[in-house]
Amino acid sequence: MSKSFGGLKVLDDITFEISKAKAFVLLGRSGTGKSVTLKHIIGLVRPDKGHVFVDGREITQLDARALSDVRKHMGFLFQSAALFDSMTVGDNVAFPLRRHTDLPDKEIRERAKQKLADVGLEREFDKMPAELSGGMKKRAALARAMALDPAILLVDEPSAGLDPITASEIDELLVQRKHSGATIVVVTHNIPSARAIGDELAVLHEGHIIAQGTAGDLDRSDDPLVKTFMRSEAGG
C-alpha cells in the first residue's frame, strides 16, 4: 500500500498482516505515517496504490453504505479521546448503539453503563466530558469504542498526554480486550506500552516498515534506529 499527500510520499509500498485476537503495534517517530495507516484500515483514507483487506474483504473500493457495514465491526480510539463535549459521558458511550442498533433506550443505557463499568467509570455516567481528567476521558473513549463489541479495535497513541500509571492502566484495559478475543491495532511511540500490549511490533520509518516481529526480535535488530527505539523509555 502506498499513499502520498501533496507530492510527499507518506507510505511507500508497505505490507503487513494482522492475526485475529492478537495485538499489532505500529511504532515510529512523529510524522512517519502511523496514524495515516490506521485511517486506511478503517477506510477514512484510500491508498494511491494497493489494497486493504478487513476480515478478508477488500475495502478500498466500497461505497459509503458497504464501508459503514464494515465499520460496525471496528472501534476507533482517537489520540485526543474526541468525546462529544455537549453530551454526557453516558450519552457518548451510547451514541454508537443509538446510531447502529434498534435497541430500546432502556437497554442502550444499561449497555452504556456496563461499558463504563468495564473501564472503571460507572459513577461518571451523568458527568460531562469537561469534568473528567485526561485519563478518564481516554477510558470513556475506550468504552465508546467498545460499545458495539467490535471484533477489531484501532487505537491511536493510547498513552499520549498521560502519566505513567494511567498509561499503564489503559494498556491493561487493551490487553483485557485482546484476551476477550478482539484484534487490536495500536499506533504509538511509547516503548513500554508497545511491550505490554503487542504480540507483534513493526517500525515505520520514511514510509517503509524497516523491522517487524516480536519485541524480542526487535531487541535483537542491528538497525540503529530500531535499536535506539527499543532501548528508549518513550520512543522516537
DSSP 44: S
d(CA 161, CA 15): 30
Residue range 214-230, pLDDT digits in tens: 999 999 999 999 998 89
Q: What percentage of residues in the chain have a pLDDT greater than 70?
A: 98
pLDDT in tens, 43-91: 999 999 999 999 989 999 899 999 988 988 899 888 777 889 999 999 9
Residues 155, 227, single domain; the answer is yes
Give the CATH number, domain containing residue 173.
Answer: 3.40.50.300
pLDDT recorded at residue 60: 93
- Report yes or no: 147 and 111 within 8 Å, Cβ to Cβ: yes
Under the banding of pLDDT at 50, 70 and 90, the label for residue 31 is: confident
pLDDT of residue 234: 52
Residue 172 lies in a domain: yes
Q: Please give the residue range of the domain that contains residue 170.
A: 3-73+150-231
pLDDT of residue 196: 92
The dihedrals phi and psi of 68, each to the nearest 5 degrees, come to -60, -40
* Mean pLDDT of all residues in 95-124: 92
Q: For residues 172 and 131, what is the distance between their CA atoms, to the nearest angstrom?
A: 24
Give the pLDDT of residue 90.
95
Together in a domain, 162 and 52: yes
CA 102 to chain centre: 26
What proportion of the chain, given as a percentage, has pLDDT over 90?
A: 61
- Give the type of residue at 1: M
Identify whether 30 is part of a domain. yes
Question: For residues 80 and 159, is the Cβ–Cβ distance under 8 A?
Answer: no
Residue with the bigger pLDDT between 232 and 123: it is 123
Examine the pLDDT at 37 and tell me if it is beyond 50: yes
Asked if 55 and 97 sit in the same domain, the reply is no
Please state the domain count of the chain: 2
Of 117, 42, 116, residue with least CA distance to 83: 116
**Tell me, what's the pLDDT at 208?**
94
236: pLDDT strictly greater than 50: no
- Domain assignment present for residue 236? The answer is no
Q: What is the pLDDT of residue 235?
A: 45
Angle at 174 between CA 171 and CA 179, to 5 degrees: 125
Query: Which of 178, 208, 188 is CA-nearest to residue 79?
Result: 188
Residues 29 and 127 in one domain: no
227 close to 235: Cβ distance less than 8 angstroms: no
- Per-residue pLDDT band for 168 (boundaries 50, 70, 90) equals confident
**Distance between the two ends of the chain, CA-based, in angstroms?**
24
25 with 189: CB under 8 angstroms?
Answer: no
- Are the C-beta atoms of 198 and 24 separated by less than 8 Å? yes
The answer to whether position 78 is within a domain reads no
Same domain for 203 and 155: yes
pTM for the structure as a whole? 0.87
CA geometry: angle at 51 spanning 47 and 24, to 5°? 95
Residue 229 is predicted with a pLDDT of 87
What is the structure's pLDDT at 151? Answer: 93
* Over residues 147-165, mean pLDDT: 87
